[in-house]
Structure 1
Amino acid sequence: MELRYFLPRADLRQFVRAYYYFSTETPSIQPLCAELGNIRVLLNGGGVLSTPNGENHKISQAFLIGPTLGAYTMAADAGTRVFGVGIRPQGWGMLIGMEADEAADQVIDLSAFAGGRAATHIEAIRCARDFDTMATAADRFFSNLLAMRRRELNSYPQALEKWLMDPNEPGLDALVTAMDVSRRQTDRLAKKFFGASPKFLQRKYRALRAADRVRSGAENWMDAAGQGFYDQSHFIKEFRSFIGVTPKQFITNQAELISEIQMRRRQKQPDFFLGSL
Protein backbone atom coordinates (compact mmCIF):
# COMPACT_ATOMS: atom_id res chain seq x y z
CA MET A 1 0.00 0.00 0.00
CA GLU A 2 1.24 3.49 -0.86
CA LEU A 3 -0.18 6.82 0.31
CA ARG A 4 1.18 10.24 -0.65
CA TYR A 5 -0.07 13.76 0.09
CA PHE A 6 0.38 17.00 -1.85
CA LEU A 7 -0.68 20.52 -0.96
CA PRO A 8 -2.83 22.41 -3.48
CA ARG A 9 -1.86 25.84 -4.74
CA ALA A 10 -1.71 28.40 -1.92
CA ASP A 11 -4.83 30.34 -2.95
CA LEU A 12 -6.90 27.12 -2.95
CA ARG A 13 -5.95 25.78 0.49
CA GLN A 14 -8.87 27.28 2.39
CA PHE A 15 -11.17 25.29 0.09
CA VAL A 16 -9.12 22.15 -0.68
CA ARG A 17 -7.25 20.55 2.23
CA ALA A 18 -4.93 18.28 0.20
CA TYR A 19 -4.44 16.10 -2.84
CA TYR A 20 -3.50 12.49 -2.22
CA TYR A 21 -2.45 9.39 -4.13
CA PHE A 22 -3.39 5.89 -2.98
CA SER A 23 -2.31 2.59 -4.51
CA THR A 24 -2.36 -1.08 -3.52
CA GLU A 25 -0.83 -4.02 -5.33
CA THR A 26 -2.98 -6.57 -3.49
CA PRO A 27 -6.72 -6.71 -2.71
CA SER A 28 -7.36 -4.54 0.33
CA ILE A 29 -10.34 -3.99 2.65
CA GLN A 30 -9.85 -0.93 4.83
CA PRO A 31 -12.04 0.89 7.36
CA LEU A 32 -12.15 4.67 6.85
CA CYS A 33 -13.13 7.19 9.51
CA ALA A 34 -15.90 9.77 9.17
CA GLU A 35 -14.76 12.53 6.83
CA LEU A 36 -15.91 15.83 5.37
CA GLY A 37 -15.95 15.11 1.65
CA ASN A 38 -13.69 13.92 -1.14
CA ILE A 39 -13.36 13.84 -4.89
CA ARG A 40 -11.68 10.70 -6.18
CA VAL A 41 -10.40 9.94 -9.66
CA LEU A 42 -9.78 6.27 -10.45
CA LEU A 43 -6.52 5.81 -12.35
CA ASN A 44 -6.45 2.00 -12.43
CA GLY A 45 -8.28 -0.92 -10.88
CA GLY A 46 -11.57 -0.60 -9.04
CA GLY A 47 -13.46 -1.63 -5.95
CA VAL A 48 -16.46 -0.91 -3.75
CA LEU A 49 -17.27 1.76 -1.16
CA SER A 50 -19.69 0.73 1.59
CA THR A 51 -21.06 3.99 2.97
CA PRO A 52 -22.53 4.50 6.48
CA ASN A 53 -26.09 4.49 5.13
CA GLY A 54 -25.68 0.82 4.20
CA GLU A 55 -25.26 1.29 0.46
CA ASN A 56 -22.52 -0.27 -1.68
CA HIS A 57 -21.09 1.77 -4.56
CA LYS A 58 -18.85 0.40 -7.27
CA ILE A 59 -15.94 2.80 -7.70
CA SER A 60 -16.42 4.72 -10.94
CA GLN A 61 -13.99 6.75 -13.03
CA ALA A 62 -14.50 9.96 -11.03
CA PHE A 63 -16.89 10.71 -8.19
CA LEU A 64 -17.67 12.95 -5.27
CA ILE A 65 -18.34 11.39 -1.86
CA GLY A 66 -20.09 13.77 0.50
CA PRO A 67 -19.43 14.13 4.24
CA THR A 68 -19.73 10.74 5.86
CA LEU A 69 -21.76 10.61 9.07
CA GLY A 70 -19.93 7.56 10.38
CA ALA A 71 -17.08 5.22 9.56
CA TYR A 72 -17.24 3.39 6.24
CA THR A 73 -15.29 0.76 4.28
CA MET A 74 -13.28 0.67 1.07
CA ALA A 75 -12.63 -2.62 -0.70
CA ALA A 76 -9.97 -2.01 -3.37
CA ASP A 77 -9.02 -4.48 -6.08
CA ALA A 78 -5.40 -5.44 -6.68
CA GLY A 79 -3.64 -2.79 -8.76
CA THR A 80 -6.00 0.03 -7.75
CA ARG A 81 -4.60 3.56 -8.04
CA VAL A 82 -6.61 6.65 -7.02
CA PHE A 83 -5.99 10.41 -7.08
CA GLY A 84 -8.05 12.09 -4.38
CA VAL A 85 -9.01 15.58 -3.28
CA GLY A 86 -10.08 16.49 0.27
CA ILE A 87 -12.78 19.20 0.27
CA ARG A 88 -12.87 21.59 3.23
CA PRO A 89 -16.20 22.88 4.57
CA GLN A 90 -15.68 26.25 2.89
CA GLY A 91 -15.15 24.42 -0.38
CA TRP A 92 -18.73 23.16 -0.51
CA GLY A 93 -20.18 26.55 -1.33
CA MET A 94 -17.24 27.86 -3.31
CA LEU A 95 -16.30 24.82 -5.38
CA ILE A 96 -19.08 22.26 -5.26
CA GLY A 97 -22.11 24.56 -5.30
CA MET A 98 -24.11 22.06 -3.24
CA GLU A 99 -25.07 22.07 0.43
CA ALA A 100 -23.03 19.53 2.35
CA ASP A 101 -26.02 17.81 4.00
CA GLU A 102 -27.52 17.11 0.55
CA ALA A 103 -24.44 15.04 -0.29
CA ALA A 104 -23.94 13.40 3.14
CA ASP A 105 -23.17 9.67 2.77
CA GLN A 106 -23.78 9.96 -0.99
CA VAL A 107 -21.53 8.94 -3.88
CA ILE A 108 -22.15 11.26 -6.84
CA ASP A 109 -20.72 11.15 -10.35
CA LEU A 110 -18.35 14.08 -10.77
CA SER A 111 -19.98 15.28 -13.97
CA ALA A 112 -23.33 15.61 -12.15
CA PHE A 113 -22.23 18.87 -10.55
CA ALA A 114 -19.33 19.99 -12.78
CA GLY A 115 -20.67 19.03 -16.21
CA GLY A 116 -18.44 19.04 -19.25
CA ARG A 117 -15.77 21.08 -17.45
CA ALA A 118 -15.06 18.10 -15.26
CA ALA A 119 -14.41 15.68 -18.12
CA THR A 120 -11.48 17.64 -19.52
CA HIS A 121 -9.78 17.99 -16.13
CA ILE A 122 -10.44 14.35 -15.17
CA GLU A 123 -8.75 13.24 -18.37
CA ALA A 124 -5.78 15.53 -17.66
CA ILE A 125 -5.37 13.96 -14.22
CA ARG A 126 -5.69 10.41 -15.54
CA CYS A 127 -3.17 11.02 -18.33
CA ALA A 128 -0.60 12.73 -16.09
CA ARG A 129 2.75 10.96 -15.84
CA ASP A 130 3.61 12.06 -12.31
CA PHE A 131 2.02 13.34 -9.11
CA ASP A 132 3.02 16.98 -9.63
CA THR A 133 1.28 17.05 -13.00
CA MET A 134 -1.85 15.54 -11.46
CA ALA A 135 -1.86 18.26 -8.79
CA THR A 136 -1.37 20.99 -11.40
CA ALA A 137 -4.34 19.70 -13.40
CA ALA A 138 -6.47 19.65 -10.23
CA ASP A 139 -5.36 23.21 -9.40
CA ARG A 140 -6.61 24.38 -12.80
CA PHE A 141 -9.96 22.68 -12.30
CA PHE A 142 -10.60 24.24 -8.89
CA SER A 143 -9.33 27.64 -10.01
CA ASN A 144 -11.98 27.64 -12.73
CA LEU A 145 -14.73 26.67 -10.26
CA LEU A 146 -13.53 29.28 -7.77
CA ALA A 147 -13.67 32.07 -10.33
CA MET A 148 -17.33 31.23 -11.01
CA ARG A 149 -18.45 31.27 -7.37
CA ARG A 150 -16.60 34.11 -5.63
CA ARG A 151 -19.88 35.55 -4.36
CA GLU A 152 -20.16 32.66 -1.82
CA LEU A 153 -16.94 33.61 -0.03
CA ASN A 154 -18.40 35.86 2.67
CA SER A 155 -21.08 33.39 3.81
CA TYR A 156 -18.72 30.88 5.44
CA PRO A 157 -19.27 30.63 9.25
CA GLN A 158 -15.77 31.03 10.72
CA ALA A 159 -17.20 30.99 14.26
CA LEU A 160 -18.57 27.49 13.70
CA GLU A 161 -15.19 26.23 12.53
CA LYS A 162 -13.49 27.74 15.59
CA TRP A 163 -16.11 26.14 17.90
CA LEU A 164 -15.53 22.70 16.40
CA MET A 165 -11.75 23.05 16.71
CA ASP A 166 -11.93 23.92 20.41
CA PRO A 167 -10.79 20.86 22.45
CA ASN A 168 -12.67 22.23 25.48
CA GLU A 169 -15.96 21.55 23.64
CA PRO A 170 -17.94 24.67 24.58
CA GLY A 171 -21.72 24.28 24.65
CA LEU A 172 -24.20 25.06 21.93
CA ASP A 173 -25.22 28.34 23.60
CA ALA A 174 -21.64 29.57 23.22
CA LEU A 175 -21.77 28.76 19.50
CA VAL A 176 -25.09 30.55 18.96
CA THR A 177 -23.69 33.62 20.74
CA ALA A 178 -20.51 33.57 18.64
CA MET A 179 -22.47 33.10 15.41
CA ASP A 180 -24.81 35.97 16.32
CA VAL A 181 -27.73 34.31 14.56
CA SER A 182 -30.65 32.22 15.77
CA ARG A 183 -30.23 28.62 16.90
CA ARG A 184 -32.17 27.50 13.83
CA GLN A 185 -29.89 29.48 11.51
CA THR A 186 -26.83 28.09 13.27
CA ASP A 187 -28.10 24.57 12.61
CA ARG A 188 -28.80 25.38 8.96
CA LEU A 189 -25.30 26.77 8.38
CA ALA A 190 -23.69 23.74 10.03
CA LYS A 191 -25.59 21.42 7.69
CA LYS A 192 -24.84 23.57 4.65
CA PHE A 193 -21.06 23.57 5.10
CA PHE A 194 -20.32 20.53 7.29
CA GLY A 195 -23.21 18.19 6.50
CA ALA A 196 -24.74 17.73 9.95
CA SER A 197 -25.97 19.54 13.07
CA PRO A 198 -23.45 21.21 15.45
CA LYS A 199 -23.94 18.62 18.21
CA PHE A 200 -23.43 15.73 15.80
CA LEU A 201 -20.31 17.38 14.40
CA GLN A 202 -18.96 17.88 17.90
CA ARG A 203 -19.27 14.12 18.47
CA LYS A 204 -17.27 13.46 15.29
CA TYR A 205 -14.50 15.83 16.28
CA ARG A 206 -14.39 14.35 19.78
CA ALA A 207 -13.87 10.85 18.34
CA LEU A 208 -11.20 12.03 15.91
CA ARG A 209 -9.29 13.80 18.66
CA ALA A 210 -9.42 10.57 20.65
CA ALA A 211 -8.09 8.60 17.67
CA ASP A 212 -5.18 10.98 17.35
CA ARG A 213 -4.36 10.53 21.04
CA VAL A 214 -4.55 6.73 20.67
CA ARG A 215 -2.20 6.91 17.68
CA SER A 216 0.15 9.17 19.65
CA GLY A 217 0.48 6.60 22.45
CA ALA A 218 -2.09 7.47 25.15
CA GLU A 219 -1.47 5.11 28.06
CA ASN A 220 -5.09 4.37 29.02
CA TRP A 221 -8.62 4.94 27.77
CA MET A 222 -9.17 8.02 29.95
CA ASP A 223 -6.08 9.74 28.53
CA ALA A 224 -7.23 8.85 25.01
CA ALA A 225 -10.85 9.87 25.55
CA GLY A 226 -10.30 13.35 26.93
CA GLN A 227 -13.54 15.20 27.67
CA GLY A 228 -17.08 14.37 26.73
CA PHE A 229 -17.39 10.61 27.24
CA TYR A 230 -19.49 9.24 30.10
CA ASP A 231 -17.49 6.05 30.63
CA GLN A 232 -15.32 3.50 28.82
CA SER A 233 -18.30 1.84 27.16
CA HIS A 234 -19.50 5.15 25.73
CA PHE A 235 -15.96 5.94 24.54
CA ILE A 236 -15.58 2.63 22.69
CA LYS A 237 -19.04 2.88 21.12
CA GLU A 238 -18.46 6.42 19.80
CA PHE A 239 -14.92 5.60 18.67
CA ARG A 240 -16.12 2.65 16.63
CA SER A 241 -19.03 4.61 15.17
CA PHE A 242 -16.83 7.36 13.73
CA ILE A 243 -13.46 5.63 13.27
CA GLY A 244 -14.72 2.22 12.16
CA VAL A 245 -12.77 0.07 14.61
CA THR A 246 -12.33 -0.18 18.39
CA PRO A 247 -9.42 1.68 20.03
CA LYS A 248 -7.58 -1.63 20.44
CA GLN A 249 -8.03 -2.51 16.78
CA PHE A 250 -6.98 1.00 15.79
CA ILE A 251 -3.44 0.45 17.06
CA THR A 252 -3.07 -2.82 15.14
CA ASN A 253 -2.77 -3.32 11.40
CA GLN A 254 -6.56 -3.64 11.14
CA ALA A 255 -6.63 0.16 10.92
CA GLU A 256 -3.38 0.63 8.99
CA LEU A 257 -4.82 3.03 6.41
CA ILE A 258 -6.63 5.26 8.94
CA SER A 259 -3.50 5.57 11.06
CA GLU A 260 -1.37 6.32 8.01
CA ILE A 261 -3.84 8.98 6.86
CA GLN A 262 -3.83 10.62 10.28
CA MET A 263 -0.03 10.67 10.51
CA ARG A 264 0.50 12.14 7.05
CA ARG A 265 -2.21 14.79 7.45
CA ARG A 266 -0.71 15.82 10.77
CA GLN A 267 2.65 16.29 9.03
CA LYS A 268 1.15 18.43 6.27
CA GLN A 269 -1.56 20.40 8.07
CA PRO A 270 -1.55 22.32 11.35
CA ASP A 271 -5.39 22.38 11.29
CA PHE A 272 -5.43 18.59 11.23
CA PHE A 273 -8.86 17.98 12.70
CA LEU A 274 -10.62 20.27 10.26
CA GLY A 275 -9.12 18.31 7.41
CA SER A 276 -9.55 14.87 8.88
CA LEU A 277 -13.34 14.61 8.89
Structure 2
Amino acid sequence: MDLHYFLPRPDLRPYVRAYYYFSSEHASAQPLCAELGNIRVMLDGGGFLVTPDGARHHISKAFLIGPTMGAYCMQARAGTRVFGVGIRPQGWNALAGFDANEAADQVIDLTDFAGARAASHIDAIRNASDFHTMADAADRFFSSLISMRKKNANAYPAALEKWLMDPNDPSLDDLLASMSISQRQTDRLAKRYFGASPKFLQRKYRALRSADRIRAGAVGWMQAAGCNFYDQSHFIREFKTFVGVTPNQFISNQAELITEIQRRRVQKNPGGLLGSI
Protein backbone atom coordinates (compact mmCIF):
# COMPACT_ATOMS: atom_id res chain seq x y z
CA MET A 1 0.00 0.00 0.00
CA ASP A 2 1.30 3.46 -0.93
CA LEU A 3 -0.16 6.79 0.22
CA HIS A 4 1.05 10.34 -0.48
CA TYR A 5 -0.40 13.76 0.38
CA PHE A 6 0.08 17.10 -1.36
CA LEU A 7 -1.37 20.51 -0.56
CA PRO A 8 -3.40 22.39 -3.16
CA ARG A 9 -2.55 25.88 -4.37
CA PRO A 10 -2.73 28.39 -1.46
CA ASP A 11 -5.84 30.20 -2.76
CA LEU A 12 -7.71 26.87 -2.94
CA ARG A 13 -6.94 25.71 0.61
CA PRO A 14 -10.07 27.21 2.21
CA TYR A 15 -12.04 24.83 -0.05
CA VAL A 16 -9.74 21.84 -0.64
CA ARG A 17 -8.02 20.16 2.33
CA ALA A 18 -5.46 18.07 0.42
CA TYR A 19 -4.75 15.95 -2.62
CA TYR A 20 -3.71 12.36 -2.09
CA TYR A 21 -2.53 9.39 -4.10
CA PHE A 22 -3.36 5.83 -3.03
CA SER A 23 -2.20 2.60 -4.62
CA SER A 24 -2.25 -1.05 -3.62
CA GLU A 25 -0.69 -4.00 -5.40
CA HIS A 26 -3.02 -6.41 -3.61
CA ALA A 27 -6.78 -6.64 -3.30
CA SER A 28 -7.93 -5.21 0.01
CA ALA A 29 -11.00 -4.33 2.07
CA GLN A 30 -10.19 -1.37 4.29
CA PRO A 31 -12.46 0.32 6.86
CA LEU A 32 -12.50 4.10 6.61
CA CYS A 33 -13.63 6.45 9.35
CA ALA A 34 -16.46 8.94 8.98
CA GLU A 35 -15.05 11.78 6.90
CA LEU A 36 -15.70 15.03 5.16
CA GLY A 37 -16.43 14.88 1.43
CA ASN A 38 -14.00 13.47 -1.12
CA ILE A 39 -13.56 13.45 -4.87
CA ARG A 40 -11.77 10.41 -6.27
CA VAL A 41 -10.43 9.81 -9.76
CA MET A 42 -9.64 6.19 -10.59
CA LEU A 43 -6.31 5.85 -12.37
CA ASP A 44 -6.23 2.03 -12.51
CA GLY A 45 -8.17 -0.85 -11.02
CA GLY A 46 -11.47 -0.32 -9.26
CA GLY A 47 -13.77 -1.94 -6.77
CA PHE A 48 -16.62 -0.93 -4.49
CA LEU A 49 -17.47 1.45 -1.67
CA VAL A 50 -19.81 0.20 1.04
CA THR A 51 -21.43 3.28 2.59
CA PRO A 52 -22.71 3.44 6.20
CA ASP A 53 -26.23 2.42 5.13
CA GLY A 54 -24.82 -0.86 3.76
CA ALA A 55 -25.26 0.09 0.09
CA ARG A 56 -22.53 -1.22 -2.22
CA HIS A 57 -21.45 1.27 -4.90
CA HIS A 58 -19.34 0.34 -7.91
CA ILE A 59 -16.38 2.70 -8.22
CA SER A 60 -16.71 4.72 -11.42
CA LYS A 61 -14.08 6.63 -13.39
CA ALA A 62 -14.46 9.74 -11.21
CA PHE A 63 -16.92 10.37 -8.40
CA LEU A 64 -17.82 12.44 -5.37
CA ILE A 65 -18.56 10.84 -2.02
CA GLY A 66 -20.32 13.23 0.32
CA PRO A 67 -19.61 13.62 4.04
CA THR A 68 -19.96 10.18 5.63
CA MET A 69 -22.06 9.91 8.76
CA GLY A 70 -20.47 6.68 9.89
CA ALA A 71 -17.54 4.44 9.06
CA TYR A 72 -17.57 2.92 5.59
CA CYS A 73 -15.46 0.44 3.63
CA MET A 74 -13.38 0.47 0.47
CA GLN A 75 -13.07 -2.83 -1.39
CA ALA A 76 -10.27 -2.33 -3.91
CA ARG A 77 -9.07 -4.73 -6.60
CA ALA A 78 -5.38 -5.54 -6.94
CA GLY A 79 -3.52 -2.81 -8.80
CA THR A 80 -5.93 -0.03 -7.81
CA ARG A 81 -4.55 3.52 -8.04
CA VAL A 82 -6.58 6.56 -6.98
CA PHE A 83 -6.10 10.33 -7.05
CA GLY A 84 -8.21 11.83 -4.27
CA VAL A 85 -9.31 15.25 -3.10
CA GLY A 86 -10.47 16.14 0.41
CA ILE A 87 -13.21 18.78 0.34
CA ARG A 88 -13.45 21.21 3.24
CA PRO A 89 -16.91 22.24 4.48
CA GLN A 90 -16.42 25.69 2.98
CA GLY A 91 -15.91 24.01 -0.38
CA TRP A 92 -19.43 22.67 -0.81
CA ASN A 93 -20.97 25.81 -2.23
CA ALA A 94 -17.78 26.82 -4.03
CA LEU A 95 -17.09 23.45 -5.67
CA ALA A 96 -20.27 21.39 -5.74
CA GLY A 97 -22.95 24.07 -5.75
CA PHE A 98 -25.28 22.23 -3.37
CA ASP A 99 -25.57 21.59 0.36
CA ALA A 100 -23.46 18.89 2.01
CA ASN A 101 -26.46 17.05 3.48
CA GLU A 102 -27.76 16.42 -0.06
CA ALA A 103 -24.64 14.33 -0.69
CA ALA A 104 -24.19 12.79 2.78
CA ASP A 105 -23.29 9.07 2.41
CA GLN A 106 -23.92 9.33 -1.34
CA VAL A 107 -21.64 8.35 -4.22
CA ILE A 108 -22.20 10.68 -7.19
CA ASP A 109 -20.59 10.61 -10.64
CA LEU A 110 -18.35 13.67 -10.95
CA THR A 111 -19.83 14.86 -14.23
CA ASP A 112 -23.35 14.87 -12.73
CA PHE A 113 -22.58 18.02 -10.76
CA ALA A 114 -19.50 19.45 -12.50
CA GLY A 115 -20.90 19.10 -16.02
CA ALA A 116 -19.11 18.52 -19.30
CA ARG A 117 -16.16 20.69 -18.23
CA ALA A 118 -15.18 17.93 -15.78
CA ALA A 119 -14.37 15.42 -18.53
CA SER A 120 -11.25 17.17 -19.87
CA HIS A 121 -9.95 17.82 -16.35
CA ILE A 122 -10.50 14.19 -15.35
CA ASP A 123 -8.57 13.11 -18.44
CA ALA A 124 -5.75 15.53 -17.58
CA ILE A 125 -5.47 14.01 -14.11
CA ARG A 126 -5.61 10.43 -15.40
CA ASN A 127 -3.04 11.08 -18.16
CA ALA A 128 -0.59 12.98 -15.94
CA SER A 129 2.92 11.55 -15.75
CA ASP A 130 3.41 12.17 -12.03
CA PHE A 131 1.63 13.25 -8.89
CA HIS A 132 2.68 16.91 -9.13
CA THR A 133 1.17 17.14 -12.61
CA MET A 134 -2.06 15.56 -11.31
CA ALA A 135 -2.19 18.18 -8.54
CA ASP A 136 -1.64 21.00 -11.06
CA ALA A 137 -4.50 19.68 -13.21
CA ALA A 138 -6.74 19.46 -10.12
CA ASP A 139 -5.82 23.04 -9.17
CA ARG A 140 -6.99 24.24 -12.58
CA PHE A 141 -10.24 22.26 -12.31
CA PHE A 142 -11.19 23.57 -8.87
CA SER A 143 -10.19 27.11 -9.75
CA SER A 144 -12.60 26.98 -12.70
CA LEU A 145 -15.42 25.61 -10.50
CA ILE A 146 -14.91 28.35 -7.90
CA SER A 147 -14.95 31.04 -10.59
CA MET A 148 -18.20 29.63 -11.98
CA ARG A 149 -19.98 29.45 -8.60
CA LYS A 150 -18.46 32.45 -6.80
CA LYS A 151 -21.55 34.64 -7.19
CA ASN A 152 -23.60 32.04 -5.26
CA ALA A 153 -21.18 31.77 -2.31
CA ASN A 154 -22.59 32.15 1.21
CA ALA A 155 -20.93 33.41 4.38
CA TYR A 156 -19.14 30.50 6.07
CA PRO A 157 -20.06 29.81 9.75
CA ALA A 158 -16.57 29.88 11.28
CA ALA A 159 -18.03 29.68 14.81
CA LEU A 160 -19.55 26.29 13.97
CA GLU A 161 -16.21 24.96 12.75
CA LYS A 162 -14.49 26.26 15.89
CA TRP A 163 -17.09 24.54 18.10
CA LEU A 164 -16.64 21.19 16.34
CA MET A 165 -12.87 21.30 16.60
CA ASP A 166 -12.72 22.40 20.24
CA PRO A 167 -10.99 19.58 22.22
CA ASN A 168 -12.98 20.59 25.32
CA ASP A 169 -16.21 19.47 23.60
CA PRO A 170 -18.39 22.49 24.48
CA SER A 171 -22.14 22.08 24.79
CA LEU A 172 -24.84 22.80 22.20
CA ASP A 173 -25.85 25.81 24.32
CA ASP A 174 -22.30 27.14 23.91
CA LEU A 175 -22.63 26.74 20.15
CA LEU A 176 -25.94 28.60 20.01
CA ALA A 177 -24.50 31.42 22.10
CA SER A 178 -21.56 31.79 19.74
CA MET A 179 -23.72 31.64 16.60
CA SER A 180 -26.17 34.38 17.73
CA ILE A 181 -28.92 32.91 15.57
CA SER A 182 -31.77 30.49 16.24
CA GLN A 183 -31.31 26.76 16.70
CA ARG A 184 -33.21 26.12 13.47
CA GLN A 185 -30.88 28.42 11.52
CA THR A 186 -27.85 26.81 13.16
CA ASP A 187 -29.11 23.34 12.20
CA ARG A 188 -29.60 24.51 8.63
CA LEU A 189 -26.04 25.85 8.40
CA ALA A 190 -24.58 22.68 9.93
CA LYS A 191 -26.38 20.56 7.33
CA ARG A 192 -25.37 22.89 4.51
CA TYR A 193 -21.65 22.76 5.27
CA PHE A 194 -21.09 19.59 7.33
CA GLY A 195 -23.93 17.31 6.25
CA ALA A 196 -25.80 16.79 9.55
CA SER A 197 -27.22 18.50 12.62
CA PRO A 198 -24.86 19.83 15.32
CA LYS A 199 -26.03 17.13 17.75
CA PHE A 200 -25.09 14.35 15.34
CA LEU A 201 -21.84 16.03 14.34
CA GLN A 202 -20.88 16.25 18.00
CA ARG A 203 -21.17 12.45 18.28
CA LYS A 204 -19.07 12.00 15.15
CA TYR A 205 -16.28 14.31 16.27
CA ARG A 206 -16.18 12.92 19.81
CA ALA A 207 -15.42 9.48 18.38
CA LEU A 208 -12.88 10.82 15.88
CA ARG A 209 -11.19 12.81 18.64
CA SER A 210 -10.87 9.60 20.68
CA ALA A 211 -9.19 7.87 17.74
CA ASP A 212 -6.80 10.78 17.50
CA ARG A 213 -5.96 10.41 21.21
CA ILE A 214 -5.21 6.71 20.70
CA ARG A 215 -2.93 7.52 17.78
CA ALA A 216 -1.19 10.09 19.97
CA GLY A 217 -0.55 7.49 22.70
CA ALA A 218 -3.53 7.51 25.07
CA VAL A 219 -3.45 4.59 27.54
CA GLY A 220 -6.70 2.90 28.59
CA TRP A 221 -10.22 3.54 27.40
CA MET A 222 -10.95 6.40 29.81
CA GLN A 223 -7.97 8.43 28.63
CA ALA A 224 -8.91 7.80 25.00
CA ALA A 225 -12.60 8.52 25.54
CA GLY A 226 -12.38 11.71 27.54
CA CYS A 227 -15.34 12.58 29.73
CA ASN A 228 -18.25 12.49 27.30
CA PHE A 229 -19.28 8.83 27.18
CA TYR A 230 -21.59 7.11 29.65
CA ASP A 231 -19.40 4.05 30.11
CA GLN A 232 -16.97 1.77 28.29
CA SER A 233 -19.63 -0.02 26.24
CA HIS A 234 -21.04 3.32 25.05
CA PHE A 235 -17.53 4.44 24.07
CA ILE A 236 -16.79 1.22 22.15
CA ARG A 237 -20.15 1.37 20.34
CA GLU A 238 -19.71 5.00 19.26
CA PHE A 239 -16.06 4.45 18.30
CA LYS A 240 -16.94 1.54 16.03
CA THR A 241 -19.85 3.46 14.48
CA PHE A 242 -17.65 6.34 13.35
CA VAL A 243 -14.18 4.78 13.05
CA GLY A 244 -15.16 1.36 11.73
CA VAL A 245 -13.27 -0.84 14.21
CA THR A 246 -13.18 -1.22 17.98
CA PRO A 247 -10.59 0.73 19.99
CA ASN A 248 -8.58 -2.48 20.52
CA GLN A 249 -8.59 -3.20 16.78
CA PHE A 250 -7.52 0.38 16.11
CA ILE A 251 -4.66 0.06 18.61
CA SER A 252 -3.51 -3.22 17.03
CA ASN A 253 -3.47 -1.53 13.60
CA GLN A 254 -6.24 -3.63 12.08
CA ALA A 255 -7.37 -0.37 10.45
CA GLU A 256 -4.10 0.05 8.57
CA LEU A 257 -5.33 2.61 6.04
CA ILE A 258 -7.01 4.80 8.69
CA THR A 259 -3.86 5.03 10.78
CA GLU A 260 -1.67 5.65 7.73
CA ILE A 261 -4.05 8.39 6.55
CA GLN A 262 -3.79 10.09 9.93
CA ARG A 263 -0.01 9.79 10.04
CA ARG A 264 0.32 11.45 6.65
CA ARG A 265 -2.22 14.18 7.49
CA VAL A 266 -0.40 15.06 10.69
CA GLN A 267 2.83 15.49 8.70
CA LYS A 268 1.06 18.13 6.61
CA ASN A 269 -1.10 19.55 9.43
CA PRO A 270 0.33 19.01 12.93
CA GLY A 271 -2.47 18.50 15.45
CA GLY A 272 -4.87 17.40 12.71
CA LEU A 273 -7.89 15.25 13.52
CA LEU A 274 -9.07 12.10 11.75
CA GLY A 275 -11.60 13.19 9.13
CA SER A 276 -10.88 16.72 10.26
CA ILE A 277 -11.66 20.10 8.86
TM-score bracket for this pair, using the shorter chain length? over 0.9
Matching residue of 2:31: 31
What SS does the aligned partner of 2:64 have? strand
CA shift, 1:45, in A, is: 0.3
Q: How far apart, CA to CA, are the structure 2 residues paired with 1:120 and 1:235?
A: 46
Out of 10-19 and 216-225, give the one that drifted further: 216-225
CA shift, 1:230, in A, is: 1.1
- Deviating beyond 6 angstroms after TM superposition, the runs of 4 or more aligned structure 1 residues are none
> Matched residues, percent identical?
71
- Does the 8 A contact of 2:211 with 2:274 survive in 1? no
Matching residue of 1:229: 229
Matching residue of 1:42: 42
Matching residue of 2:156: 156
Query: What RMSD over aligned residues (CA atoms) do the two structures have, in Å?
Result: 1.2
- Does the 8 A contact of 1:86 with 1:275 survive in 2? no
Q: How far apart, CA to CA, are the structure 1 residues paired with 2:188 and 2:253?
A: 39
CA shift, 1:242, in A, is: 0.1
* Distance 1:66-1:80 versus aligned 2 partners, 3 A rule: same
User: How many residues align structurally?
Assistant: 277
- Does the 8 A contact of 2:48 with 2:59 survive in 1? yes
Task: Write the mapping of 1:101-112 to structure 2, written as runs, cut at 5 A.
Answer: 101-112=101-112
What SS does the aligned partner of 1:276 have? coil
TM-score, length-scaled by structure 1: 0.97
Task: Write the mapping of 1:2-41 to structure 2, written as runs, cut at 5 A.
Answer: 2-41=2-41
CA shift, 1:254, in A, is: 1.6
Q: How far apart, CA to CA, are the structure 2 residues paired with 1:149 and 1:110?
A: 16
Matching residue of 1:144: 144
Residues 54-104 of structure 1, C-alpha deviations (whole Å, 9 max, x = no match): 110011100000010000000100000000000000000111101000000
TM-score, length-scaled by structure 2: 0.97
- Does the 8 A contact of 1:88 with 1:275 survive in 2? no
Q: How far apart, CA to CA, are the structure 1 residues paired with 2:275 and 2:52?
A: 19
Give structure 1 stretches of 5+ with no counterpart. Answer: none
Matching residue of 1:192: 192
- Does the 8 A contact of 1:28 with 1:75 survive in 2? yes
Q: How far apart, CA to CA, are the structure 2 residues paired with 1:276 and 1:2?
A: 21
Residues 222-267 of structure 1, C-alpha deviations (whole Å, 9 max, x = no match): 1111131111111100000000000010122320000000111111
Q: What amino acid is aligned across from residue 179 of structure 2 in structure 1?
A: M
Matching residue of 1:65: 65
Task: Write the mapping of 1:165-184 to structure 2, written as runs, cut at 5 A.
Answer: 165-184=165-184
- Does the 8 A contact of 2:212 with 2:274 survive in 1? no
Q: How far apart, CA to CA, are the structure 1 residues paired with 2:233 and 2:218?
A: 17
- Does the 8 A contact of 1:265 with 1:276 survive in 2? no
CA shift, 1:135, in A, is: 0.1
CA shift, 1:164, in A, is: 0.4
Between Structure 1 and Structure 2, which shows a larger proportion of helix residues?
1
- Does the 8 A contact of 1:262 with 1:276 survive in 2? no
Matching residue of 2:96: 96
